């Protein structure tokens, strides 16, 4: 926790924030809040002046998603680990509710056949299985998934910054190898909407999600003798609605609603669901290109979409713009929670540092081979009724089980 | 405890990288009056088989 007396300076804006904080009894980090707001304002203005209004909307939507991820402590990685290690299923059950709600919202839209709108569908094959397995393993070592890495970096976590840097490097290497993996056994995308229609896809998805929900609930019941209902909690804690909304921690259901509606809005505004990791490979490729590397020698960067993204500004790349918003949104939320850089006082140890590097590389490489991360493949993939999302889930969960077993070797806690 | 100047420096560095990338882009060239610059405001590729733009396995030789 940062010290308020040092955090608030003599700056008038800081003083204003301090005064408001005092009047409401809320402890916030005025400096971080102010810097995050200035960042959101500056970048939002630049995007507005140089690109198009829909990208400004996506930028601020990314910011809102960052706030929801931080205040909801919506970590996919920890949710899976809690089930594997402690047999506590509330986190993963909240994720399943999130996907169920997003499916209800997005499948009818995708099934309406509007032109210029595509779901997060992807091929099913060896590339997907290997990629998602590596991603699942890497996210337990790296300490966060795609969204988790991004929002914790925004919240000032230095170890996760190391993870992000190597995530980017791994993604770049993944783009070099993806064409080779695509030529291994596999099939074209399998959409449940195409196979069963909108209603059929909703029913099939609903049954599958309910089956997993009940199964992991049973695992918790068997292990603990009772089941936590944190996943369906809607009422805030003792801080009250307003203070909890502003400073966290949000009940899971608040984050679930914001993330599901946010994904729907992303689909409606940009034409495709929310994703995160494509931008990491893109940023890596831009840096490599700046150092003289000819990216056109790699097949991936000759495909229409990546080639366009590489050629043009990051400010017209939807994934990048939303990621920038997410980083600043998480920073804002961490400031409001007075928790920015909370782990900064702990010097990085060698083994956890090594785990961050390995985890980042595995996640980056795995996300490219697996056509996305926990957001782009798991959340958006299943919410788009794509079979690849389910296979990604199963394979990444298997990788996570291995990753959890490896964590003690890197001095990482359960 | 973080240092304020480091936070500001990190954000400025990211902002500078974004600006360098943008100033060398077709979108910026288009905005400054070079009408022949090829911008890509909408990069959505509905013909691709994956969100990253990968082609379908069935279309590969």
Name the β-bridge partners of A186. A125
Task: Record the tokens describing residue A88, joined without a space.
Answer: 């506590």
H or E element in which residue A186 lies? strand A186-187
Residue of A nearest to B21 (CA): A313
Q: What is the largest CA-CA distance in chain A?
A: 64
Section A327-347 average pLDDT: 87
Measured at the CA of A140, the angle between CA A355 and CA A136, to 5 degrees, comes to: 120
pLDDT above 60: residue A278: yes
Alpha carbons A200 and A104: distance in angstroms, whole number: 12
DSSP per residue over A105-172, as a string? HHHHHHHTT-TT---S---EEHHHHHHHHHHHHHHHHHTS-HHHHHHHHHTT-HHHHHHHHHHHHHHH
pLDDT at residue A19 in the model: 43
Q: How far is CA A255 from the centre of its chain?
A: 12
CB contact at 8 A, A92 and A214: no
Task: Record the tokens describing residue B11, joined without a space.
Answer: 């954000």
Residue of B nearest to A174 (CA): B52
B50/A121 CB distance under 8 A: yes
Residue of A308, A317, A343, A364 to mutate for B, most B C-beta atoms under 10 A:
A308
Q: Is B3 on the interface with A (CB under 8 A)?
A: no
pLDDT at residue A113 in the model: 86
Residue of A nearest to B14 (CA): A324
**ipTM value for the complex:** 0.94
DSSP per residue over A360-372, as a string? HHHHHHHHHHTTS
Q: Which of A2, A10, A4 is nearest to A22 (CA)?
A: A4
Name the β-bridge partners of A125. A186
Q: How far is CA A330 from the centre of its chain?
A: 11
Task: Record the tokens describing residue A113, joined without a space.
Answer: 């056949």
pTM above 0.90, yes or no: yes
Section A370-398 average pLDDT: 97
A318/B43 CB distance under 8 A: yes
Smallest Cβ distance to A2: which of B1, B31, B57? Answer: B1
Section A383-395 average pLDDT: 98
Distances (CA, A) of A254 to A98, A232, A388: 10, 10, 27
Considering only CB atoms, which chain B residues are within 8 Å of A117? 46
Mean of pLDDT over chain A: 91
For A76-118, what is each residue's pLDDT tens digit?
999 999 999 999 999 999 999 999 999 999 999 999 988 889 9
Work out the minimum CA distance from B21 to partner chain A, whole angstroms: 6
For A219-263, what is each residue's pLDDT tens digit?
999 999 999 988 788 888 788 898 999 998 899 999 999 999 999
In this structure, the number of other CB atoms found within 10 A of the CB of residue A408 comes to 11
Alpha carbons A326 and A74: distance in angstroms, whole number: 13
DSSP label of B54: P
Q: Which of A357, A396, A351, A374 is nearest to A128 (CA)?
A: A396
Alpha carbons A394 and A26: distance in angstroms, whole number: 42
pLDDT at residue A3 in the model: 35
Residue of B54, B56, B58 to mutate for A, most A C-beta atoms under 10 A:
B54
B46/A304 CB distance under 8 A: no
In this structure, the number of other CB atoms found within 10 A of the CB of residue A95 comes to 27
Name the β-bridge partners of A187. A124
For A399-412, what is each residue's pLDDT tens digit?
999 999 999 999 99
A341/B46 CB distance under 8 A: no
Q: Where do the structural domains in chain B lie, given as residue ranges?
A: 1-39
Considering only CB atoms, which chain B residues are within 8 Å of A2? 1-2
B27/A50 CB distance under 8 A: yes
- At A54, the pLDDT band (50, 70, 90 cuts) reads very high
pLDDT above 70: residue A176: yes
């Amino acid at each position: 926790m940062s010290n308020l007396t040092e955090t608030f300076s003599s700056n008038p804006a800081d003083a204003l924030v301090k005064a408001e904080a005092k009047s409401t009894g809320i402890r916030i980090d005025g400096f971080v809040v102010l810097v995050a707001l200035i960042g959101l304002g500056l970048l939002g203005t630049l995007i507005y002046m140089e690109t198009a209004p829909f990208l400004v909307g996506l930028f601020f939507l990314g910011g809102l998603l960052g706030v929801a991820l931080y205040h909801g402590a919506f970590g996919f990685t920890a949710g899976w680990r809690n089930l594997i290690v402690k047999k506590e299923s509330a986190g993963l059950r909240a994720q399943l509710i999130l996907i169920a709600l997003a499916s209800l919202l997005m499948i009818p839209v995708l099934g309406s056949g509007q032109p210029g709108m595509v779901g997060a569908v992807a091929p099913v094959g060896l590339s997907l299985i290997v990629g998602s397995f590596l991603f699942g393993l890497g996210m337990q070592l790296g300490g966060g998934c795609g969204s988790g890495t991004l929002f914790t970096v925004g919240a000032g976590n230095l170890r996760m910054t190391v993870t992000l840097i190597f995530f980017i490097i791994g993604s770049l290497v993944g783009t070099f190898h993806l064409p080779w993996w695509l030529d291994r056994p596999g099939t074209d995308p399998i959409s449940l909407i195409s196979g069963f229609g909108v209603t059929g896809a909703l029913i099939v998805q609903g049954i599958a999600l309910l089956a997993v929900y009940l199964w992991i609930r049973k695992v918790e019941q068997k292990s603990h003798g009772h089941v936590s209902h944190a996943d369906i909690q809607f009422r805030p804690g003792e801080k009250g609605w307003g203070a909890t909304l502003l400073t966290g921690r949000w009940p899971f259901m608040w984050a679930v609603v914001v993330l599901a509606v946010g994904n729907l809005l992303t689909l409606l505004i940009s034409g495709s669901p929310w994703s995160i990791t494509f931008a990491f490979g893109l940023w890596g490729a831009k840096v490599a290109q700046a150092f003289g590397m000819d990216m056109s020698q790699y097949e991936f960067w000759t495909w229409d979409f990546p080639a366009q993204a590489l050629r043009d500004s990051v400010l017209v790349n939807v994934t990048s713009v939303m990621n920038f918003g997410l980083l600043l949104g998480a920073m804002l939320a961490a400031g409001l929670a007075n928790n920015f850089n909370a782990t900064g006082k702990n010097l990085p140890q060698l083994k956890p540092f090594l785990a961050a590097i390995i985890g980042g590389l595995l996640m980056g490489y795995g996300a490219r081979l697996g056509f996305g991360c926990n957001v782009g493949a798991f959340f958006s993939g299943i919410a788009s009724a794509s079979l690849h999302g389910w296979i990604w889930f199963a394979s990444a969960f298997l990788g996570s089980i291995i990753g959890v077993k490896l964590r003690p070797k890197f001095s990482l806690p359960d | 405890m973080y240092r304020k100047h480091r936070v500001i420096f990190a954000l400025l560095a990211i902002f500078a990288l974004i600006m360098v990338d943008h100033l060398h882009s077709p979108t910026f060239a288009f905005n400054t009056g070079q009408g022949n610059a090829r911008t890509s405001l909408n990069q959505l590729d509905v013909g691709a088989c994956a969100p990253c733009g990968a082609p379908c396995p069935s279309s590969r030789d």
